[in-house]
Structures are given as structure tokens and as C-alpha cells.
Amino acid sequence: MKRAEDHVVMTLNRPARRNALSVALRDSISDALADMAEDSSVKAVVVIGEGTVFSAGFDLKEFDRAAVDDAFMQELWASSDRFHRAVLSFPLPLVAAVNGPAIAGGFDLAVMCDLRVASSTARFSHPERSFGDVVYGPLHDLVGGAIARELTIGGRELTAHDALDVHLVSAVVEPAGLMEKAVEMVERVCIAPRDVLVRTKAKALRRAGVDPTNPTLDL
């Protein structure tokens, strides 16, 4: 993590695994968000992936292990539920700087953030729909039922510019300019007092109608 005066940049740092969201990485994110929620000097958090991928989603190798290890299966889903709850309930603005493909659970992470800016190399898809449930509710809140169903039922994939067209992201820039654009966005966010940001975020969460206490596969 990199700390600025009033915000934090949190980097998903597993580039060798395309920043796959392992149990360990999910738990690290959950812990970090819990700490930052209590830090009165933090107003916002930027989330970005290391390298050229935002996140390829959950680490599928861990599902292979879970298939033969019941205890790890329980750990995997407990970690998943905690992770989704931590991100969805985080009381301050989250800005996703989508630096490349955001796939499956990586797509979900970008969607659970409040604001998104994308590199021109970004793309968004839910390939896990071919073998399992897809997180639907937070996506529906952003793009509406028609687009959400195209993505989660119909298998549509979005380029960065497609994502801009459906208002999933606020801007598309070339890769070299992504962090500059994200910082510009977060600086606008941080003009507001922290208590105002907390209240506005709470209103947004209530209006979204997504219950963060639901298990992952019920979202």
C-alpha cells in the first residue's frame, strides 16, 4: 500500500498469478480495509493491480484443493464472504483503477468500488458463468438489469470503451496515464469532508439495496 495525505493506494500484488484473489490476498484486503475504516486521516482508497492485469478473479487452483479438502473449502468460502462484506460495507469511497483485464471476481471487485477509471487495455467479463454462480446484485446497481443480464446470463464481454458506453467506468485513458487519472478523481473526492463522504456513501449503500451480509453466491 502507498499512503498519500488523505488517501491510500492499495495494489493487488500477485502479478505471477494475474493478481488472482487467493484466500490470503482476500484476507489481506479485508484486514486493510478494516484498518483504514478506523483511520480518521483516510478519506478514500484507490485499488489497482500490479502489472498489466487488474485481477483474473478467484484463484482457481484453490478450488482444486477445496474439492478434496473440506476444511479448506469452508475456509475458502468464509474468506470470500468476509471479503465481499468488507468491500461492499467499506464506509469511504473506493476508486478502482482498472489497469487491465478484470475477470470474474476481479470484475466483481471493480464493480464493488464506488468509482472506476479504466486503462484502454481493460476488459470485463464473467467466464465463471460457464460453471458456477455469478455475483449479480452490485453489477445490476451500476448498469441496470438489461446490461447486467447480458453480462451474467448472455456472456457479453466489455472492452474499456464498451464499459464507458454503459457507464460502468467514468473515463478511459492510455495505460501510462491511468494513475494520474485515478489520482485526479480521488483528489476531487477528497475535497469533501470525511464525515460528508461517510454519510453519502451510506446513502448510496442503502439505495443500492445490496445486502453485504449475504453469502457471496447470494449477492
Catalytic sites, residue numbers? 128
Three-state DSSP at 67 gives coil
For residues 199, 204, 206, 208, the Cα torsion angle rounded to the nearest 10 degrees is -170
The amino acid occupying position 90 is F
Helices (H), 102-193: 105-112, 137-152, 160-165, 178-189
Distance from chain centroid for Cα 139: 11
For the chain, the 3-state helix, strand and coil shares in percent, each to the nearest 5, are 50, 15, 30
List all residues 6 or more positions away from 31 whose beta carbon is below 8 Å from its beta carbon.
Answer: none
User: What cell does 130 get?
Assistant: 460457464
List all residues 6 or more positions away from 206 whose beta carbon is below 8 Å from its beta carbon.
Answer: none
